[in-house]
């Protein structure tokens, strides 16, 4: 397939960064482009003993032969971008659409000062909500207005669609998760725009007919950072007994942990137009699966979980993550 969208099916933190990185190394795309809200989303990618947490640069940056693009629908914080470009060494292959909205210091200040956002909603305080509000009111600045972004500016839809028309492999990378979509999530405990696959494609400028596959990523034990309903949430004692403890990439807040939610997974797959499923954290279902790279070596407990999840979602599970490191994965895509 030429163009694949990868999105999160629960509340974020599903392990999309690792799935994007794996598909990038396996499929060798010429372009990896990201949609989503902005630097309020963080992706963690572990390669060997190195762990990267990225907020602006696409998490597929670990595949060195791809051009990296940030779509027009994404908010750009120039300070975060400059820092990541420097730390990750991606200068010369990272590009920003000239129409991206810009997060300014005033947006961050307003985000943190809002009691409603910071305390009731659980905002990350990165300025995304206020910046998107300015965009809606048509008073926000765009990337093309800032000299410090000039070297990165291109027309991302032209780049991406030209690659698709030339039958090159393209990955479109989502951020956040379906459960905090402005439209389909648990409003008002949501982010400041839609996060579904259709929105990610629109953020980057790819029409519906340009998409070949939609991979929705689900975590065996879904997690949520911040406030809002979480119907399958465990108590802290229960998650502790299972050895489950995680922290947000951006906020470093402890994540709330829940059991598998088949109903939500099925609904999420429907809205996202899912064609393939990635399951992460199968090693949390059964520790004996940690690092396994062959389907036949998964334990009966893990296989039972996967069969039940596949019945819930009614789409094939083609990618199974068995640990945080990039090589710890089972890829069944060629079998479907």
Spell out the alpha helix ranges (H) of the chain. Answer: 16-27, 78-88, 105-113, 115, 128-136, 156-165, 197-204, 236-241, 262-272, 282-285, 300-313
Helical packing angle, 197-204 and 156-165, nearest 10°: 110
Tokens for 287, please give them.
């520790």
Catalytic status, residue 252: no
Catalytic status, residue 25: no
Look at the block and give the residue holding tokens 């579904």.
196
Query: What is the C-alpha separation between 194 and 190, in angstroms, rounded?
Result: 9
Q: Which of 22, 25, 43, 107 is catalytic?
A: 43
Query: What is the C-alpha separation between 54 and 33, in angstroms, rounded?
Result: 14
Spell out the alpha helix ranges (H) of 95-127. Answer: 105-113, 115
Residues marked as catalytic: 13, 43
């Amino acid at each position: 397939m030429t163009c694949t969208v990868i999105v999160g099916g629960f509340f974020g933190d599903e392990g999309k960064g690792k799935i994007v990185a794996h598909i990038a190394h396996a499929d060798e795309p010429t372009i990896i482009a990201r949609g989503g809200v902005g630097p309020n989303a963080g992706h963690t990618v572990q390669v060997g003993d190195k762990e990267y947490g990225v907020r602006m640069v696409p998490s597929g940056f670990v595949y060195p032969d791809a051009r990296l693009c940030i779509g027009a629908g994404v908010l750009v914080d120039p300070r975060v971008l400059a820092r990541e470009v420097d730390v990750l060494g991606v200068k010369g292959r990272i590009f920003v659409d000239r129409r991206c909205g810009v997060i300014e210091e005033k947006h961050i200040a307003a985000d943190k000062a809002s009691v409603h956002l910071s305390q009731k909603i659980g905002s990350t305080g990165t300025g995304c909500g206020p910046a998107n509000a300015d965009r809606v009111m048509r008073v926000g600045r765009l990337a093309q207005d800032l000299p410090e972004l000039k070297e990165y500016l291109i027309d991302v839809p032209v780049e991406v669609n030209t690659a698709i028309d030339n039958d090159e492999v393209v990955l479109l990378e989502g951020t956040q998760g379906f459960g905090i979509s402005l439209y389909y999530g648990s409003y008002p405990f949501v982010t400041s725009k839609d996060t579904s696959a259709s929105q990610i494609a629109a953020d980057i400028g790819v029409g519906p007919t340009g998409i070949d596959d939609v991979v929705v990523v689900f975590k065996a034990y879904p997690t949520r950072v911040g406030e809002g309903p979480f119907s399958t949430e465990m108590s802290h004692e229960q998650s502790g007994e299972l050895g489950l403890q995680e922290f947000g990439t951006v906020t470093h807040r402890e994540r709330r942990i829940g059991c598998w939610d088949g109903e939500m997974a099925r609904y999420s797959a429907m809205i996202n137009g899912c064609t393939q499923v990635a399951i992460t954290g199968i090693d949390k279902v059964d520790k004996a699966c940690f690092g396994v790279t062959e389907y036949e070596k998964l334990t009966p407990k893990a296989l039972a979980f996967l069969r039940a999840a596949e019945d819930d979602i009614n789409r094939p599970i083609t990618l199974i993550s068995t640990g945080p490191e990039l090589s710890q994965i089972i890829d069944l895509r060629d079998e479907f």
